[in-house]
Amino acid sequence: MEHSDCKDKNSFLYPRVRYYGPIKPENLIFNANLQEFAQKVSIITSLETSGKLSNVEAYHQIEALWKQLKHSKKELGIGNETPSLKELPPDVT
């Protein structure tokens, strides 16, 4: 019974949304990293809003998280591919 409560609590505190983009390992990993970034930013902003964290400290923590996310994107090679003509919208070609 306790295991079920723990699972419910974790899914409430750390919700995961299904990924709908092209299925590639690097996209799935980056999506997980992006969701984790969003959750941590949400917690930091809540702590700052409630006065538990200064606005300067919150800024520095979010900045560090952003740098980690950018590094993750670069390491995974997300966004480095140039789209082929087939993938471009009709008005671009």
> Comparing 13-17, 29-33, 61-65, 75-79, which segment has the lowest mean pLDDT?
13-17
Domain-embedded: residue 62? yes
Whether the pTM exceeds 0.75: the reply is no
Number of folded domains in the chain?
1
Domain-embedded: residue 17? no
Domain-embedded: residue 1? no
Domain-embedded: residue 68? yes
Report the pLDDT averaged over residues 31-54.
96
User: How large a percentage of the chain has pLDDT more than 70?
Assistant: 76
User: How large a percentage of the chain has pLDDT more than 90?
Assistant: 59
DSSP readout, 11-43?
HHHS------S---HHHHHHHHHHHHHHHHHHH
Band of pLDDT at residue 89, cut at 50, 70 and 90 = low
Which pLDDT tens digit goes with each residue over 55-68? 999 999 999 999 99
Domain-embedded: residue 5? no
Residue 83 DSSP one-character state: P
Band of pLDDT at residue 93, cut at 50, 70 and 90 = very low
Domain assignment of residue 57, given as a range: 26-76
